[in-house]
Amino acid sequence: MRRSPDTRVLGGVCGGVSAATGIDVMLVRIGFVLLTVSSGVAVLIYALAWLLVPIEGEDSNILSRAVNDRRGIRLVVALVPVMIVLQVVVSALHVGYVGFIGWPTFLAGGLAVLIWRNASEKEKVWINDDLVPLLGAGSRGHARWVLVTRVGVGVALGLGGASLLVYGHASSAALRPIGGAVLVIGALVVIFGPWWLSLVRDLMAERQARALAEERAQMAAHVHDSVLQTLALIQRSADDPQHVVQLARAQERELRAWLFEGRPPGALSDDVTMLAEGVGLLQRQIEADHGITVQVVMVGDCELTAALRALLDAAREATVNAAKWSGAPQVSLYAEVEPDTVMLFVRDRGRGFDPGAVPEDRQGIAQSIRARLSRFGGTVVIRSAPGEGAEVELSMARHELVR
Amino acid sequence: MSGPASGEPGAAEPAIRRPRIFLVEDHAVFRAGVKAELGDAVEVVGEADEAAAAVELINERQPDVVVLDVHLPGGGGLAVLQGVLPHHPEVRFLALSVSDAPEDVIAVIRAGARGYITKTISGGELLQAVYRVGAGDAVFSPRLAGFVLDAFAHGAEPVTGLDPELDQLSPREREVLRLIARGYTYKEVGRDLTISSKTVESHVSSVLRKLQLSTRHELTRWATDRRLV
């Protein structure tokens, strides 16, 4: 028997039972729900099956991993007294029905902790997908906490209130039901606490993984900006050993600066705070590195925002591109600060190209420039024709968009 | 950059009388370089390396065009303009500089120079600029266009001059300047805006007139502001 990921609602147990017995999955589910309502044991059975039955495509079950998860086991053990307290509270409240399904549910809750901690990555994503809408989709961790607490307090108050209404004797001290309610609240918070903490911790790990992937993408962009461009240049000047050495050395310097000093190739240092400063720096660096003239014309000036730094990076990419490929000895760079936007034009009178016919693998313009800008809502327009030079028009809003 | 474009005055049209040129420039090497680049297309009637000598010689020889370095010992290009134009308003000046200081450039234009180019200009373009100034047109390099846009962009203050027309640029003039600042030649500007090169020239000349005649306090204040930057 295997749990079925295709028909799953939670862990795919019903789907597995259906596949093993031939009974329609919907009937199995109805059976489970009826069992749950009537005795509560079904919840425990379900959790056990989840733990014991491997999912389709895997040979080991979650339990085999859970036995090595000492932290998880400790967490479950720590839950036991909480369960006992809760059970006592529930029975004290004389809410017979809750007491009836209580034990198996609490036990299943403990098992759920083990399941969550030891499920395969794929399954974790499913569980997460199931839980997120329940706990406030898209909201930040803090808001989720608030929601959880609210739900917990709400349920507790509901139980307390209900028991007070149904079983509250006028003669018996009113303190008892109130004390019970307070206990229920405390118990719920304690129950939700460790479980939720571990969930949040795992979510954070997931977020870190995503950040890592993003960093990798940025790294690829940087490598393209510098290393691949230099390699292409080296190939083109293979018959000029001195130039090749010069290029290689410059690239080595840049790469070292990036790898060991954390300075991205050509990145603006943070002490540049004004746009004109940044443009001037860009001009000096490109003139020094590529032996061309960069004619800069600035109209107005303003403080650099993250978006405008991206604009400058894109302008650098466009200018370096022109310096390397156009064959023109001079590149014009015109920047104008308007009330709401900054426009930047990079123009050369070199050989030009057909913007529609740039091959996919030469993605300098496509990826570096466009992606850099669109991340901040900026735009790029490229005008060129073979033999007519090229002009890259970049624009960026001065005030960062509220996200 | 391209050489002289066809249809515009240049080396290709020797029928025009060779303009008489005077060079004011304190770097001997650069002076020699300019002379060599202009070659036989012009007649160099004299040169000077400081302001006082330049004023004396220009007033004496009355050249068609003076190629004037903005930064000179003895008062700078400004002193030369002030020493010559009151006596010989027909002498035309083309300012030349490596300097990035906008206030100096604007001051020289305000004092009567008909154009401003940077020293990185190619020989062909220099010749073209000399011819253009000689013919009474204005020569705006991208940098000058940028300076002017910048100066007139500070237009928040209500206009106080006698002639409000003089105190602001028309939208068309602004467009023309913007394209020049982006590195377009007059011809390309004309093509982009679908107007003739002559119309472009008249727009530029009109901007020059405004720049020289405007009483805007802001032009001065702008220059002072820029010095602080």
Judge: A332–B153 Cβ closer than 8 Å, yes or no. Answer: no
Kindly report the CATH number assigned to the domain that includes residue B168: 1.10.10.10
* B130 plus B106 within the same structural domain: yes
Residue A402 has pLDDT above 90, yes or no: no
Residue A240 has pLDDT above 90, yes or no: no
ipTM over 0.85? The verdict is no
Asked if B149 is an interface residue toward chain A (Cβ–Cβ < 8 A), one would say yes
Q: How many Å lie between the alpha carbon of A349 and the closest alpha carbon of chain B?
A: 7
Domain boundary among B82, B106, B137: B137
What is the pLDDT confidence band of residue A138, given thresholds at 50, 70 and 90?
Answer: very low
Placement of tokens 């010095």 in the chain: B227
Q: Higher-confidence residue: A159 or B64?
A: B64
* B74 plus B162 within the same structural domain: no
What is the reported pLDDT for B216? 62
Q: Which domain holds residue B211?
A: 146-228
Asked if B182 is an interface residue toward chain A (Cβ–Cβ < 8 A), one would say yes
- Which H or E run includes B95? strand B92-97
* B25 plus B130 within the same structural domain: yes
Q: Higher-confidence residue: A194 or A213?
A: A213
Asked if A302 is an interface residue toward chain B (Cβ–Cβ < 8 A), one would say no
Judge: B149–A293 Cβ closer than 8 Å, yes or no. Answer: no
Placement of tokens 């770097």 in the chain: B27
Contact call for residues B121 and B38 (beta carbons, < 8 A): no
What is the reported pLDDT for B4? 41
Establish if B6 belongs to a structural domain: no
Residue-wise pLDDT tens digits, A275-311: 888 888 888 788 777 878 888 888 888 888 888 888 9
Asked if B1 is an interface residue toward chain A (Cβ–Cβ < 8 A), one would say yes
* B24 plus B127 within the same structural domain: yes
Mean predicted lDDT score pLDDT of chain A: 75
* B66 plus B26 within the same structural domain: yes
Q: Rounded CA gap, A358 and A385, in Å?
A: 12
What is the reported pLDDT for A100? 56
What is the reported pLDDT for A333? 93
Average pLDDT of each block of 10 consecutive residues along chain B (229 residues)?
42 62 86 84 89 91 91 83 90 82 81 85 84 89 87 56 66 91 89 91 89 68 54
From the list A79, A80, A54, A78, the residue with the least C-alpha distance to A65 is A54
Q: B residues 115-144 near A, CB within 8 Å?
A: 118, 120, 142-143
* B159 plus B115 within the same structural domain: no
Judge: B143–A300 Cβ closer than 8 Å, yes or no. Answer: no
Q: Higher-confidence residue: A114 or B157?
A: A114
Judge: B150–A334 Cβ closer than 8 Å, yes or no. Answer: no
* B92 plus B186 within the same structural domain: no
Q: Rounded CA gap, B93 and B71, in Å?
A: 14
Q: Higher-confidence residue: B111 or A131?
A: B111
What is the reported pLDDT for B15? 45
pTM value > 0.80: no
% residues pLDDT > 90 (chain A): 4
* B116 plus B174 within the same structural domain: no
- Which H or E run includes B67? strand B65-69
Domain boundary among B104, B119, B137: B137
Judge: B120–A336 Cβ closer than 8 Å, yes or no. Answer: no
What is the reported pLDDT for A97? 53
Residue-wise pLDDT tens digits, A83-109: 777 777 766 666 555 555 567 777 777
Q: Rounded CA gap, B218 and B228, in Å?
A: 15
Name the β-bridge partners of A296: A333
Domain boundary among B137, B163, B185: B137
- Which H or E run includes B203? helix B197-213
Domains of chain A: 13-213 (no CATH), 268-403 (3.30.565.10)
Range from A137-141, A180-184, A293-297 carrying the lowest mean pLDDT: A137-141
* B36 plus B122 within the same structural domain: yes
| Among the partner residues A295, A300, A349, nearest to B153 by beta-carbon distance | A300
Query: Which residues in chain A are closer than 8 Å to B143, comparing Cβ atoms?
Result: 295, 297
Number of domains making up chain B:
2
Q: Rounded CA gap, A78 and A71, in Å?
A: 10
Q: At residue B184, what is the residue type?
A: Y
Q: Rounded CA gap, A156 and B109, in Å?
A: 83
In a mutational test of the B interface, the residue from A283, A297, A346 whose CB has the highest number of chain B CBs within 10 Å is A297
* B39 plus B131 within the same structural domain: yes
* B38 plus B122 within the same structural domain: yes
Establish if B14 belongs to a structural domain: no
Residue-wise pLDDT tens digits, A339-388: 888 999 999 988 888 877 766 555 566 667 888 888 888 888 888 888 88
Kindly report the CATH number assigned to the domain that includes residue B79: 3.40.50.2300
Residue-wise pLDDT tens digits, A35-55: 777 776 777 888 888 888 888
What is the reported pLDDT for B21? 92
Q: Higher-confidence residue: B177 or A127?
A: B177
What is the pLDDT confidence band of residue A207, given thresholds at 50, 70 and 90?
Answer: confident
What is the reported pLDDT for B157? 47
